[in-house]
Amino acid sequence: MLEKCLQRERHNVHELDFSSIKDNNNVIFDFSVKGMIAGYTTKFTKSFVENYLSKLNDVAIVNENKVIEDPFENEAVKQAPLVRRAERPADKMPNLDRIDQENFPLDLKYIYPDSAGAGVDVFVVDTGIFLDHEEFQGRQGKTVVEKTFCGNDLADDDGHGTNVASLVGGKTLGVASNANIIGVKITGKVCPLSSQNIINGITYVMQQKANDPGRKIVLNLSATSIDSAVGEAASKAVEAGIHFVVGAGNRNLDACGFFPGQVETVVTVSATKITAPPNQQDWITDFSNWGKCVTLFAPGDNVPIAGIGSPSEITSGSGTSLSAPHVSGAIALMLANSDLTPEQSKEELVRIATKDKIQGLYYRPTANLLLRVPSP
């Protein structure tokens, strides 16, 4: 109907080379996945939307595609000393040290199942991945950037996707060091993030699941939106069997005000910090979103992460974007040894979580659950 009415060509975004499109306003972008979701992006007049399109019985949502300003909400990243697992200094790796044990003091170890996420595909829908970084060399799992929605640019010119990927499965910094890490680039320095690109990224992963229904797939998304269509896409992704993890956001607001975090079936992650010794405690960070839509917490303050300055650069960062990949890695650890559904993996995260240890939730009522990885 749109092709006929608007006299425009329709292109499947999952197969499209976006650098070949000269005029975005004269094209219908089709992000449909057969049997899972049907959706399109193009330019409409306001009157066409109000008087016709929104009144069609088989149209569920018509939303404006908007650019998301500051998509990662001023997350702090700073230089930090180089850290490697062989050295394992406790003051440099407390995030991994914390998630394998219930109580303090930290034992200077990160203990996890031997499979380390092998055979599980974690899609990092973000800014791409700096593939030359040492964290991604010599791993059992592959690391690739498979798709970009930013022209033909696969490189991570921002660093955020590399940060996240290193926590999912980096050789020494990652939770699940044998998992496959697959980058899907939806934003970058010269590629503003929009609702359209978030949905394109989500539905691209859905298409991979449709192509191979037996694949064990985790989708990690760090960006938040107020667009309900993003929430609809996330909901459909979980229905398709994709384990969906998202950062709660960094505004110290109710996470239920944002998509896809408010979608009940996704895993929404807030951030904790560890206070200084000798009396170490877990606290909610000052910036973290909170509320009943949050599934659990994970470390998100001064976390060691791979940078893009050089193949050996290690930085540290803070934000719920860095809490979420801890959980994506934990789900990969589960799936390597099981065939859990998204509903079951979420239930298992809650079941094994460390309970009632997080301080600072006085006026921010949130489930007091801290990520704990499965035992070997």
Catalytic residues: 126, 160, 321
Q: Which residues, other chains included, contact 176 with Cβ-Cβ below 8 Å and sequence gap of 6+?
A: 112, 116, 117, 120, 122, 168, 169, 329, 330, 332, 333, 336
Rounded distance, CA 369 to CA 191, Å?
A: 36
Which pair of structure tokens corresponds to residue 22? 């000269």
Q: Which residues, other chains included, contact 292 with Cβ-Cβ below 8 Å and sequence gap of 6+?
A: 256, 365, 366, 367
Radius of gyration for the chain, computed over Cα atoms and rounded to the nearest angstrom: 20
Exposed, middle or buried by CB within 10 Å (0-12, 13-18, 19+), for 138?
exposed
Q: Which conformational region is residue 35 in: left (phi greater than 0), alpha (psi within -120 to 50 degrees), or beta?
A: left
Identify the CA nearest to 168 among candidates 124, 215, 137. Answer: 124
Identify the CA nearest to 180 among candidates 206, 154, 211, 146. Answer: 146
